[in-house]
Amino acid sequence: MGIFEPYRAIGYITSGVPFSVQRLGTETFVTVTVGKAFQIYNCSNLKLMLIGPQLPKKIRALASYRDFTFAAYGTDIAVFKRAHQVANWSGHSAKVNFLLLFGDHILSVDADGNVFIWSFKGIEDNPAPIEHIKLDANFTPTCIMHPDTYLNKVLIGSQEGSLQLWNISAKKKLYEFKGWNSSICSCVSSPALDVTAVGCSDGTIHVHNIRYDKEVVTFKHSARGTVTALSFSTDGQPLLASGGSSGVISIWNLEKKRLQSVIREAHESSIISLHFFANEPVLMSSSADNSIKMWIFDTSDGDPRLLRFRSGHSAPPLCIRFYANGRHILSAGQDRAFRLFSVIQDQQSRELSQGHISKRAKKLRMKEEELKLKPVIAFDCAEIRERDWCNVVTCHMDTEQAYVWRLQNFVIGEHILRPCPENPTPVKACAISACGNFAVLGTAGGWIERFNLQSGISRGSYVDTPKGSAHDGEVVGVACDSTNTLMISAGYHGDIKVWDFKGCYVKSSWEIGCTVVKIVYNRLNGLLATVTDDLVIRLYDVVALRMVRKFEGHTDRITDLCFSEDGKWLLSSSMDGSLRIWDVVLARQIDAIHVDVSITALSLSPNMDVLATTHVDQKGVYLWVNRSIFSGASNVDSFASGKEVVNVRLPSISSMNGSQTEDSDEPVTDNSVSKDASVSPTFIKQIPELVTLSLLPKSQWQGLINLDIIKVRNKPIEPPKKPEKAPFFLPSVPSLSGEILFTPSEANGDVKGNGVEMNDRKLDMAPSPFLQLLQSSTEIKNCLSPSALDMELRMLQIIDDENLEDLDGKPEMISIELLLDYFVCEISYKNNFEFIQAVIRLFLKIHGETIRRHPKLQGKAKKLLEIQSDVWQKIDTMFQRTRCLVTFLSNSQF
């Protein structure tokens, strides 16, 4: 399949499907959809608790009940118990648009007006719907809800503007409400009986009494747009929350029949769901902008404030970069947000602060988006000075200055870098020096200037004297070497210049001959990779001033490229959908994959274990794992496809055959992509000539060696004393001697009886329970403590002094032979080395005399000795070489 295998996608919070809220015990959980999978968050802290499996199609509707989650995709409905699919309901001929939890049943409504009723009691035995209702031909359902206290009845809204009340038990339409000459988009039941709220596409909200078909009150959204979500407060306040397609949440006071407050710019896109928590002044909202937010009504003026939220990019990312040794990813998107994603724990992901945007927007009566910085088009970072001052610099679209950020505090810095203030032009390129002290900026006017990151003061400009600027046209890229000796810059017209970093003068330059699109410099090997509009990647040695490599293969615009940390690989992506890996040393393509959605940006982690990519019109960051590293294989060619381009699916939110729980750190791969199970990313292979340790605590295997010492140390000094008084909860009777006698109880008798039976079973059991664990040494490690292991081995001890011929048939002798075979096998495979050594020592201490007397056991023991000596001799030789090398280096003077 290739060197990189799909791992998972991060940065996805929710999509455009209404969420489902449920309460389990004292905790409340919300289930949201993310494409073809669903996620469950704990509402107390919005922590990700579970990621469901990947479905064949995108989820269109959700419902949940206790441990069950119902997800409609296409014409089918998948039923999950936690993360495991237990049933798949098929019956619809059209796409399922709505699901409604109705007691012990689920109602599903499709686009053709078919309503199916499913029972989830005994799901495995009831794969078919129990009832079917066909709606009117001129009635297109848009929403469905169950009015409280209305037995077996549901209210269905339509695109035509009418409402219908159905009795699903009798499969009969009871009443049809004429509507308000506008499509119905949402409806919800109120805490007051017989009253519902209906939201229409013209922006009106109708609070209607369905018992008398009478209007109670009507509200009108000031902003044009559809009423997409509604929710009534249940904590005693007469409030109704409504969300619209403009992203605004309006709070209406039902007693005063007027607008109470407005949450402007609550979301950047249409509101999908609203939900007031039961008996709490907390409102939850979700939107198509990839965010979930919780609002609390605890202010004196009654306005809600943001309590907590989880969000990702609301528009596709443009630039990404690994940070913190591969644990985090910096991402800049078209939504004007600069984010930090955690690869390990999703809860640590966050957006970097641009100041008090919300307060300023509210004060100036402007949108938050208008006050945010424009989208980032390029950025660079350096970890070496993270604790001292700002260590990230960003260039923004059509912006004449660059901004600095301090990642230690996740905020924008206090300095603004303005190159060439006399003739300002937009900043197009940036780079931070290896020492982390300087930032170099290149502008659209060909100007290059160096700034001090600590003070934000200019420290010189790079000017080619005859021209008065660094380049004639736009500066495409700048880079610094590892010793602050050279600075490399590239102009749009194809001129590459190498500058003296401190002196700011040109040392050398050359022309490529075509337009340069992008450059990347590797500080380790000193090679400069350039991308030109002729779809060719050229590598230059900036010291020797000559081209050393030339890579061709892409058929469309090259979007991004990056070096591996060791400088041996060069990765490039293109709008043709391909990702190619070039071997710089061998000057050839070693791998290529093709994805359906073109890659726009990529970054390889410093350890080369994870590759991050962004794609066209995708809001998340996609991670790929290096199979050659995670499989333990020493040869990369066994995974590489060479010149062949392999089609691969994008990484999914979750695995096809499993799930992740509680921000899991384990890789989740799409097994449908992998066709060769023999090269899956597992740790089956061992490194030759080495041994594998058990990873047990040191005390556990050392306890086997020093078990006698531990027993002597733990021996009580004084005999146990009789209690003066019995505990109050034990029944007792007085005796003539004055001692306390406890009355026997039925429960105690059962325990004692069970103990005798257990001991009898242990004495009569053949083979020993210990031998039943020989199938897996992992079970021995995890199931038996040192004292239990000692007891199991001593139970095999042959105490009677019998003839050798009589010993062959004894179960204990068979068990000892099996144990010797097990030790030979484990030593030869070099597994759990230190643990097996401790077990062998204890075994020989107990059964050494029996082995000495029996010729058959002597032969097995001799074989064990030979294998043990051979394995240890190889390991000891490597130890000796290491000792000699360390001794030599420690005594050397450099």
Q: Could you give the CA distance from residue 828 to residue 872 in angstroms, rounded to a whole number?
A: 11
More confident site: 10 or 718: 10
The pLDDT value recorded for residue 341 is 95
pLDDT exceeds 80 at position 805: no
Give the type of residue at 561. Answer: L
CATH 2.130.10.10 fits 1-8+515-655, yes or no: yes
* Among the listed residues 508, 308, 163, 385, the one whose alpha carbon sits nearest the alpha carbon of residue 155: 163
Phi, psi of 530, deg, nearest 5 = -120, 145
Q: Give SS3 for 111.
A: coil
Q: What was the pLDDT predicted at 816?
A: 85
Cα–Cα distance, 682 to 669 (Å, whole number): 12
DSSP at 60: E
pLDDT, one tens digit per residue, over 189-232 is 999 999 999 999 999 999 999 999 999 999 998 777 899 999 99
Nearest to 30 by CA among 250, 261, 296, 282: 282
Most confident of 285-294, 770-779, 838-847: 285-294
- Per-residue pLDDT, 232: 95
Distance separating alpha carbons of residues 437 and 73, to the nearest angstrom: 53
- Amino acid identity, residue 804? L
Q: How confident is the model at residue 718 (pLDDT cuts 50, 70, 90)?
A: confident
Tokens linked to 875: 């390991």
Residue 253: pLDDT over 50:
yes
Tokens coding 779:
């079970």
* pLDDT at position 648 over 80: yes
Q: Which residues pair with 10 in a beta bridge?
A: 621
User: What mean pLDDT is predicted for residues 529-538?
Assistant: 94
- In terms of Cβ atoms closer than 10 Å to its own Cβ (0-12, 13-18, 19+), residue 852 is exposed
Q: Are 119 and 126 in contact (CB under 8 A)?
A: yes
The tokens 């040494």 sit on which residue?
777
Average per-residue pLDDT for the chain: 84
* Among 361, 339, 329, CA closest to 291: 339
In the numeric block, which tokens belong to residue 532? 């030109």
- Residue 815 is classified by DSSP as H
Predicted pLDDT of residue 34? 93
Q: Please tell me which residue, 466 or 724, carries the higher pLDDT value.
A: 466
Assess contact for 865 and 824: CB atoms under 8 A.
no
Tell me the C-alpha distance between 32 and 71, whole Å.
10
Contacts (Cβ under 8 Å, ≥6 apart) of 343: 10, 326, 327, 328, 329, 610, 623
Return the H-helix or E-strand segment holding 498.
Answer: strand 495-500
Q: What is the token pair recorded at 349? A: 């992901």
Instruction: Provide CATH 2.130.10.10 ranges for the chain.
Output: 1-8+515-655
**φ/ψ (deg, to 5) at 523:** -70, -20
Of 265 and 65, the structure prediction assigns the larger pLDDT to: 65
Q: What is the pLDDT of residue 476?
A: 95
Nearest CA to 63 out of 96, 26, 111 is that of: 96
Secondary structure of residue 639 in the 3-state scheme: coil
Buried b (16+ CB within 10 A) or exposed e, 537-569: bbbbebeeeeeebebebbeeebbbbbbbbeebb
Residue 877 has pLDDT above 70, yes or no: yes
Is 303's pLDDT higher than 90?
Answer: no
> 734 pLDDT band (50/70/90 cuts)?
low
632 or 472, which is more confident?
472
- Confidence (pLDDT) at 364: 74
Structure tokens at 672: 């449908």
What are 871's two structure tokens? Answer: 């394995």
pLDDT digits (tens, 9 = 90+) for 124-167: 766 788 889 999 888 999 999 999 999 999 999 999 999 999 99
Q: Is residue 733 pLDDT above 90, yes or no?
A: no
The pLDDT of 103-116, averaged and rounded, is: 92
Q: How confident is the model at residue 118 (pLDDT cuts 50, 70, 90)?
A: very high
Higher per-residue pLDDT: 782 or 400: 400
Q: How confident is the model at residue 781 (pLDDT cuts 50, 70, 90)?
A: low
Q: Look at residue 788 in the predicted model and tell me its pLDDT.
A: 78
pLDDT (tens digit per residue) in 465-518: 677 889 989 999 999 999 999 999 999 999 999 999 999 999 999 999 899 999
The structure tokens listed for 549 are 């490599």
pLDDT band at 775 (very low <50, low <70, confident <90, very high): very low
Closest CA to 601 of 494, 477, 518: 518
Q: Report d(CA 851, CA 349) in Å as an integer.
A: 61
pLDDT, average across residues 799-811: 62
Q: Which residues contact 64 (CB under 8 A, 6 or more apart)?
A: 20, 21, 22, 29, 31, 70, 101
Summarize the confidence of residues 99-114 as an average pLDDT. 92
Cβ atoms 50, 661 nearer than 8 A: yes
User: Is the per-residue pLDDT at 602 higher than 90?
Assistant: yes
Region 851-864: mean pLDDT is: 86
Q: Residue 765: which residues within 8 A CB-CB, separation 6 or more?
A: none
Residue 248 structure tokens = 């605004």
H/E/C letters for each residue in 357-387?
Answer: HHHHHHHHCCCHHHHCCCCEEEEEECCCCCC
Sequence-separated (6 or more) residues with CB below 8 Å from residue 764: none
The identity of residue 879, as a single letter, is: F
CA 480 vs CA 34, 395, 415, 488, 587: distances in Å? 41, 17, 22, 6, 24
- Contact of 583 with 566, CB cutoff 8 Å: no
Residue 343 has a pLDDT of: 92
Q: How confident is the model at residue 853 (pLDDT cuts 50, 70, 90)?
A: confident
Which residues are CB-neighbours of 362 under 8 A, at least 6 positions away?
Answer: 264
CB-based contacts of 659, cutoff 8 Å, min separation 6: 50, 51, 52, 53, 82, 83, 84, 668
Does 78 have pLDDT greater than 90?
yes
pLDDT bin (cut points 50, 70, 90) of residue 761 is very low
Measured CA to CA in angstroms, residue 708 lies from 378, 711, 783, 787, 836 at distances of 67, 5, 21, 10, 18
pLDDT higher than threshold 80 for residue 550: yes
Taking the C-alpha atoms of residue 449 and residue 458, their distance in angstroms, rounded to an integer, is 7
Residue whose entry in the numeric block shows the structure tokens 């528009």: 315
Q: Is the pLDDT of residue 450 over 90?
A: yes
Residue 673 token pair: 């992509």
Band the pLDDT of 58: cuts 50, 70, 90.
very high
DSSP, collapsed to helix, strand or coil, labels residue 479 as: strand
| pLDDT (mean) for 832-846 | 85
Of 526, 540, 516, give the one whose Cα is nearest residue 429: 516
Residue type (1 letter), 362: K
Instruction: Name the amino acid, one letter, at 670.
Output: D
* pLDDT in the model for residue 746: 41
Position 450: which residue type? Answer: R
